[in-house]
């Protein structure tokens, strides 16, 4: 089984263009039904949904931001009757008012469709056991995987997050073929396997690992694939677009993340000016939903940095454009001594040092208006702080402090790793 929806995943560029224009007009008309969104669009210069007559008109529409979502909390953006809503999810709200996404039956089916495509693209087939490690709750990860499993006719193992020993036992007992989690949780699984007193350090049934919600380096990917003997896939989606998997995933060619273009329009803009950039240039990716009803999004600024790699047919046969893996976020960029960098770049550099393990922290401390940086890493005996600092200076362009700790010393989290700590 190569495709979940072959007709949709392999349509020509002309067919995609027609689908996108119809979807854009429909999405804008849906959004206009929300008093709150209509006022936002009017302030941005939109007099009527009929203003959009071609895909080129997309650039005339105003952007939607995370702050807009927060201002619309909880359901001011709702474009359908409240009684038709069947589910909602939200971001953590760790930096203020949470971001909410609501779903009617149509939207839940659209989400399930996107996830099913991702699962099949990773090589999963009906009946395969798939273990869900993201949390079931307000965060969208667990339920997104569940809806996708149902749609793709997989055997769902709803483990949720935490309890690593149980995760391993479930994988072994039920012959799990694939699993989904945040990538920073995988080292916890590997540590438990390596410490197994019986010497049983593998899970032979596992073939597929699907990772989202965090950026990770190519070297981290290679380490996981080599140790667990699996193939890794990078899934993409967020609360604002409708959840995990809604905007795409890489295929077995691993030549970029396929964006489901019949479901979303993707643009790359200059974060500073908002101008659309040509293919190949790095910038901030912006999404417009084409097939969502309850809370459609128009030109949502994600803050995620990437570029369009290709619009040509992929080796896998899919025609939907491919973007580069997310390199970082505009709001995650760190500036130290005049040098701009992202946490993922630190990870990439650390993974190049022999003996350095997967856990690390970036400690930022302010002193008299200057920022000092310390990078804490776990490493095998023989790796020194001087070695770490020197390599980071060569790769990043400035000299941080480097502290090395024995393996197992740095704090472990069951969910997303906290890589940057500000003091």
- Residue 241, classed as helix, strand or coil, is helix
370-379/401-405 β-pairing: parallel
Q: Which tokens belong to 193? A: 């396997």
CB under 8 Å to 67, separation ≥6 — which residues? none
* Paired tokens of 188: 């916890």
pLDDT above 90 coverage of the chain, percent = 69
Q: Report in angstroms the alpha-carbon separations of 49 from 27, 54, 57, 139, 185.
A: 9, 12, 11, 32, 44
* 3 state SS of 322: strand
pLDDT band at 24 (very low <50, low <70, confident <90, very high): very high
- For residue 162 the two structure tokens come to 């935490």
CATH of 1-332 among 3.40.50.12780, 3.40.718.10, 3.40.30.10, 3.40.640.10? 3.40.50.12780
Report how far residue 379's alpha carbon sits from residue 409's, in angstroms, rounded to the nearest whole number.
Answer: 10
The pLDDT of residue 82 is above 60:
yes
Q: Kindly give the interhelix angle for 141-152 and 105-121, rounded to the nearest 10 degrees.
A: 80
CB 415 within 8 A of CB 185: yes
Q: Where are the domains of the chain?
A: 1-332, 334-422
Encoded tokens for 279: 């293919």
* pLDDT of 408: 85
Span of 173-182, 192-201, 235-244 with lowest mean pLDDT: 192-201
Give the pLDDT confidence score for residue 227 in this predicted structure. Answer: 95
Q: What is the pLDDT of residue 341?
A: 75
- Give yes or no for residue 299 having a pLDDT over 70: yes
Token duo for residue 213: 């919600």
CA-nearest of 6, 9, 2, 246 to 114 is 246
Cβ-based neighbour number of residue 278 at 10 Å: 9
| Res 252: pLDDT | 97
Class of domain 334-422: alpha beta
In this prediction, residues 364-379 reach a mean pLDDT of: 79
Instruction: Please report the pLDDT score of residue 132 as a whole number.
Output: 98
More confident: 328 or 149: 149
Query: What's the mean pLDDT in 270-280?
Result: 96
Average pLDDT, the chain: 92
Beta bridge partners of 234: 211
User: Is residue 160 helix, strand or coil?
Assistant: coil
Q: Is the pLDDT of residue 93 over 60?
A: no
ω before 74 within 30° of 0 (cis)?
Answer: yes
Range with the lowest mean pLDDT among 252-256, 332-336, 390-394, 418-422? 332-336
pTM of the entire predicted model: 0.84
Radius of gyration of the chain (CA): 22
Q: Can you say how many angstroms the Cα of residue 87 is from the centroid of all Cα atoms in its chain?
A: 21
- pLDDT of res. 142: 96
Tell me the C-alpha distance between 272 and 285, whole Å.
Answer: 13
What's the confidence (pLDDT) of residue 349? 85
Tens digit of each residue's pLDDT (9 = 90 or more) over 201-229:
999 999 999 999 887 778 889 999 999 99
At 297, the pLDDT band (50, 70, 90 cuts) reads: very high
**Poorest-pLDDT segment among 2-16, 192-206, 258-272, 347-361:** 347-361
Reported confidence tier of residue 368, pLDDT bands at 50, 70, 90: low
Between these two residues, 336 and 64, which has the higher pLDDT value?
64
Output the six-digit token pair for 56: 């080129």
Assess whether pLDDT exceeds 90 at residue 26. yes
- Name residue, tokens 């589910």: 87
Q: Please give the torsion angle defined by the CA atoms of residues 144, 217, 240 and 124, in that order, rounded to the nearest 10 degrees.
A: -20
Which of 259, 246, 252, 245 is CA-nearest to residue 231? 252
pLDDT at 399 over 90: no
Average pLDDT over residues 331-350: 75
Question: Would you state the pLDDT for residue 414?
Answer: 64
Phi first, then psi, for residue 377 (nearest 5°) are -135, 155
């Amino acid at each position: 089984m190569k495709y979940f929806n072959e007709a949709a995943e392999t349509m020509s560029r002309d067919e995609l263009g027609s689908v996108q224009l119809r979807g854009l007009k429909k999405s804008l008309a849906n959004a206009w039904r929300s008093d709150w969104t209509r006022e936002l669009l009017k302030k941005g210069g939109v007099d009527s949904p009929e203003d959009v007559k071609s895909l080129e008109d997309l650039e005339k529409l105003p952007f939607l931001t995370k702050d807009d979502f927060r201002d619309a909390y909880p359901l001011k953006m709702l474009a359908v009757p409240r009684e038709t809503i069947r589910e909602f999810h939200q971001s953590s709200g760790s930096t203020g008012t949470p971001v909410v996404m609501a779903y009617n039956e149509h939207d839940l089916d659209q989400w399930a469709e996107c996830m099913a495509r991702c699962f099949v693209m990773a090589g999963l087939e009906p009946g395969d056991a798939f273990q869900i490690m993201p949390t079931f709750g307000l965060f969208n990860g667990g339920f997104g995987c569940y809806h996708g499993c149902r749609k793709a006719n997989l055997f769902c193992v709803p483990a949720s997050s935490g309890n690593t020993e149980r995760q391993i036992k479930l994988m072994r007992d039920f012959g799990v073929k694939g699993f989904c989690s945040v990538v920073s949780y995988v080292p916890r699984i590997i540590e438990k396997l390596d410490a197994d007193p019986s010497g049983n350090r593998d899970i032979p049934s596992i073939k597929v690992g699907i990772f989202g919600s965090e950026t990770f380096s190519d070297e981290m990917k290679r380490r996981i694939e080599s140790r667990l003997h699996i193939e890794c896939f990078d899934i993409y989606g967020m609360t604002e677009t409708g959840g995990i998997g809604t905007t795409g995933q890489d295929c077995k060619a691993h030549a970029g993340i396929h964006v489901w273009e019949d479901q979303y329009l993707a643009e790359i803009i200059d974060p500073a000016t908002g101008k659309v950039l040509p293919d190949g240039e790095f910038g901030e990716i912006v999404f417009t939903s084409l097939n969502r009803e309850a809370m459609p999004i128009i030109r949502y600024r994600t803050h995620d940095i990437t570029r369009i790699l290709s619009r040509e047919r992929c080796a896998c046969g899919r025609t939907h454009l491919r973007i580069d893996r997310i390199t970082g976020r505009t709001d995650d960029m760190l500036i130290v001594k005049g040098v701009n960098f992202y946490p993922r770049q630190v990870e990439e550099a650390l993974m190049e040092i022999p003996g350095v393990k997967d856990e690390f922290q970036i400690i930022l401390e302010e002193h008299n208006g200057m920022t000092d940086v310390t990078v804490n890493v776990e490493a095998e005996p023989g790796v020194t702080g001087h070695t770490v600092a020197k390599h980071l200076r060569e790769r990043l362009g400035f000299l941080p402090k480097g502290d090395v700790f024995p393996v197992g010393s740095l704090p472990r989290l069951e969910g997303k790793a906290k890589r940057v700590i500000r003091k």
